[in-house]
Amino acid sequence: MSLLPGEKLRYAETHFKFKLPWSLLYKPWPEIIFDAPFQFVPGVSPYLWIVVRDADRFPTTIKNAEIILKRIADACDETYFENAQSREAQQPYAIRTAPEPNGNVMADPIRHLSAMVQHEVICKDLNIEVHEQMKFIPLALGEIPAGYYEAYCKLTVEREGKAQTFERWNLPRLKPTPLRFKVLNEHPPIAPGYAAGEMHCHTHYSADHVEYGATPEVLQLAAKAVGLDFVNCTDHAYDFAFTQEDFTKEADSPVPRFQKLRKEIAALPSKDENGNIMPLMLAGEEVSAGNSKGENVHMTVLAPEGYLPGLGDCGRYWLDNKPTRSIKQILNMTGAHCFAAHPFQQMGLLEKFIFRRGYWKPEDLNIPNERTDKGTKKTHSIRGLQFWNGIRDEGFKLGREFWINELGKGNYLLPIGGNDAHGDLNSMTAVDLPLFSLKHTRAHIFGNVRTVIKVGSRKLEVGSDAKQEFPLMRHLRPTGGDPLNNSVTPPQVPELAEGQGHLTQPPPLSLDDINAAFSADNCYITDGPALWWERDGKNIIFHARSNKETGGGFRYIRIYGRQTLPNGKLALEEEIMIGSLVAAPDHADIPVAPFGHAYVRAECETATGKFALTSAARVL
């Protein structure tokens, strides 16, 4: 990983001193932070994590914790949170937690949130000894009404007879900020028959000089909390190639660590203790590969068959930074779907020089390439561009333009959204200047930007042998009665005829389902609303859905199309088509007659800035 300013780094590693005798970031304590998913869908009770790292070097006792929640009135999206500290918060209360025999920390079962009554109960006497290299300690908050919250977290820890108390984290030279999360009243909108996934995130196998990630188990639980159906864990190829004990020491082989990740993910449950389907976790990879100019670029791979090498920009060999393999060579080594990762993430001149990093080029997307799979020659190329990397910044704008230009060449790549989160469930803590300073932002949060793919209808089991089609089920939080009732109520469940038996959940997603979806052409990327298309004869119908929690109505829903010219070529520019809407309601269906066009696509933005974008619908 880069050690230079400007690189987006995650979960800050503060102990590495680059063989120097000092560091302003070094403290003889483990790194400890509070973290939590940024939202909780109906059916998932809110919780926090105490994240402890490097306690194997600095054994520590977690003495007690204090958590004060403040419910923010009438908040409707994350933009409200950014100015929340300057507003008067409502309904503060604290939660007492106590350890269970297994070491897990659960909320006091007698504590319930009252909308009008203040609760101030100090947490104490946790006394959890931590000596692992990494440990996640859960703090369940119990049943909380739907709303938007800030959590002010304080922790007292002890090591070698010395105690310290801190708020949010013990990271040096970094001002604490509250956790911010949403307890949703209803599930984020999603197209029926689609599945939402995180396409770019990192586990603890992406640990190096300046950062680390979360365990696959924690990411699966977080995926469930925020409403994801699958997660592609894309750890760095170069981090597999170095030992966990010493980030600078090359391992005998990267394969054992990659296989260990695969086994760890394979051991995760497909259903929770109540029989509910858990998100599907996949062992992917982020590979450094050589572009057409011999520069290092990153590509994410969806669950490859085996380890793929890529050490060019690992930062361990200084100026020995030539790509290990070219893009074409990597494509020849795997039949898995490959995507250009953050193709235009901005970088400085020093990063380009020392790590030989570059940007994706059009030539990299159209490499003549064939691989032999079980005796059959198959064309294998880049399937999509992950130009939305957690935030709509300059890299997003340039990547979107790059994608649109490729569509104009007839290269119908899929748009991909991800977050590049290294653990960060709620906000990002990062090394700003190695040895000197840290930083904190709310970019690159796990599960915030998602890729939503069409997996078709799922089979619902009825009775013992009958089956019927039904889209993926979504949960709603009941709107009437007891606000603390967090029971799960699937919407629009088909009625059963008498004697038909009981209706159960659809089967879990499989890797085959996801591979088939990415082989097709229908997906969308979003941080809130649902926006998708379907073919209806010669017409294309676009559907847009939002709700109060994703911003209500739409500022705009724009339909773009590109004409086919009389000479058979595509027009140089897209055009905004009739049917586009301004100030649209939160529920819109727009039929489009794309006569004379090669493709149409759509983008939308809600009243609070939540955004979605569809893949291109080719006119057949």
User: pLDDT digit string (tens) for 239-269?
Assistant: 999 887 776 788 899 999 999 999 999 999 9
**Residue 542 located in a structural domain:** yes
6 located within any domain? no
More confident of the two residues 103 and 52: 52
Amino acid 376: pLDDT: 62
Per the domain annotation, does 243 fall within a domain?
Answer: yes
Q: How confident is the model at residue 1 (pLDDT cuts 50, 70, 90)?
A: very low
Would you call 406 helix, strand, or coil by DSSP? helix
Buried b / exposed e across 346-361, counting CB within 10 Å, b at 16+?
A: ebeeebeebbbbbbbb
Sign of CA dihedral 562, 565, 571, 575: negative
In a domain, 17, yes or no: no
CA atoms within 13 A on the CB side of 139: 27
pLDDT band at 23 (very low <50, low <70, confident <90, very high): low
* pLDDT for 614 beyond 90: yes
**3-12, 218-227, 338-347, 605-614: which has the minimum mean pLDDT?**
3-12
In this structure, the answer to whether residues 275 and 367 fall within a common structural domain is yes
Sign of CA dihedral 552, 553, 554, 557: positive
Q: Is the pLDDT reported for residue 89 higher than 60?
A: no
Q: Which of 164, 184, 204 corresponds to the end of one domain? A: 184
Q: Is 543 helix (H, G, I), strand (E, B) or coil?
A: strand
Which pLDDT does position 238 carry in this prediction?
Answer: 92
What is the model's pLDDT at position 26?
75
Tokens of 531: 């926006």
Tokens (6 digits) for 576? 């905004």
Task: Report how far residue 87's alpha carbon sits from residue 78's, in angstroms, rounded to the nearest whole number.
Answer: 14
Taking only the tens place, the pLDDT of each residue in 517-550 is: 999 999 999 999 999 999 999 899 999 999 999 9
Q: Which residue has the higher pLDDT, 150 or 480?
A: 150
Q: Is the pLDDT of residue 498 over 80?
A: no
Q: Domain check: are 564 and 469 in the same one?
A: no
**363 and 215 both lie in a single domain:** yes
Cβ–Cβ < 8 Å for 595, 540:
no
Q: Is the pLDDT of residue 74 over 80?
A: no
Q: What is the mean pLDDT of the segment spanning 376-381?
A: 74
258 and 376 part of one domain: yes
Residue 469 pLDDT grade (very low, low, confident, very high; cuts 50, 70, 90): very low
Same domain, 303 and 266: yes
* Maximal CA-CA distance, the chain: 82
Same domain membership, residue 99 and residue 125: yes
Q: Could you give the dihedral angle defined by the CA atoms of residues 488, 150, 134 and 263, in that order, rounded to the nearest 10 degrees?
A: 30
Supply the pLDDT for residue 82: 43
178 shares its domain with 281: no
Are the beta carbons of 187 and 475 closer than 8 angstroms? yes
pTM: predicted TM-score of the whole model, two decimal places: 0.86
The whole-number pLDDT of residue 428 equals 84
Whole-number pLDDT of residue 215: 95
In 3-state terms, what secondary structure has residue 518?
helix
- Given a contact cutoff of 8 angstroms between Cβ atoms, the answer to whether 300 and 338 are in contact is yes
Residue 17, pLDDT above cutoff 50: no
pLDDT digits (tens, 9 = 90+) for 383-435: 999 999 999 999 999 999 999 999 999 999 999 999 999 989 998 887 777 66
Reply yes or no on whether the pLDDT at 442 is more than 80.
yes
Instruction: Look at residue 482 in the predicted model and tell me its pLDDT.
Output: 33
User: Which pLDDT value is given to residue 94?
Assistant: 44
pLDDT tens figures, 551-601: 999 999 999 999 999 999 999 999 999 999 999 999 999 999 999 999 999
Q: Is residue 21 part of a domain?
A: no
What's residue 211's pLDDT? 67
d(CA 196, CA 232): 11
Name beta bridge partners: 301. Answer: 285, 338
Residue 247 lies in a domain: yes
C-alpha–C-alpha distance, residues 304 and 336, integer Å: 5
pLDDT(153) > 90: yes
Confidence class of residue 479 from pLDDT cuts 50, 70 and 90? Answer: very low
Of 1-10, 52-61, 133-142, 600-609, give the range with the top mean pLDDT: 600-609
Residue 92 included in any domain? yes
* Same domain (yes/no): 260, 167: no
Query: What's the number of domains the chain is made of?
Result: 4
pLDDT for res 120: 39
Q: Look at 117 and 455; give whichever has higher pLDDT.
A: 455
Q: What is the pLDDT of residue 20?
A: 52
- Please report the pLDDT score of residue 301 as a whole number: 98
Higher pLDDT, 368 or 383: 383
First CA to last CA across the chain, in angstroms? 44
Residues 473, 351: Cα–Cα separation, whole Å: 46
Averaged over 358-384, what is the pLDDT? 80
Strand pairing of 280-283 and 230-233?
parallel
* Among candidate residues 184, 201, 233, the one where a domain is terminated: 184
Q: Position 329: which residue type?
A: Q
User: Which residue did the predictor score with more confidence, 186 or 320?
Assistant: 186
Query: Is the per-residue pLDDT at 441 higher than 60?
Result: yes
Is the model's pLDDT at 288 over the cut of 70?
Answer: yes
Residues above pLDDT 70, as percent of the chain: 76
We report the CATH number of the domain holding residue 400 as 3.20.20.140
Residue 560 domain-assigned (yes or no): yes
By the 10 Å C-beta count (0-12 exposed, 13-18 middle, 19+ buried), 449 is classed as buried
Mean pLDDT of the chain: 82
Q: Is the pLDDT of residue 487 over 70?
A: no
Phi-psi region of 401 (alpha: psi -120 to 50; beta: other; left: phi over 0): alpha
Does the pLDDT of residue 615 top 70, yes or no? yes
Give the model's confidence band at 208: pLDDT under 50 very low, under 70 low, under 90 confident, else very high: low
| Of the residues 130, 163, 184, the one at which a domain ends | 184
Q: Inform me whether the pLDDT recorded for 371 exceeds 70.
A: no
Same-domain status, 247 and 329: yes
The whole-number pLDDT of residue 13 equals: 55
Per-residue model confidence (pLDDT) at position 209: 58
Per-residue pLDDT, averaged over 611-616, amounts to: 98
Q: Are residues 179 and 191 in the same domain?
A: no
Which residue range is the domain that position 279 belongs to? 187-455+512-527
- 501 has a pLDDT exceeding 90: no
Judge whether residue 98 has pLDDT over 70.
no
Q: Indicate whether 128 and 170 sit together in one domain.
A: yes
Whether 441 and 516 map to the same domain: the answer is yes
- What percent of the chain has a predicted confidence (pLDDT) above 90? 61
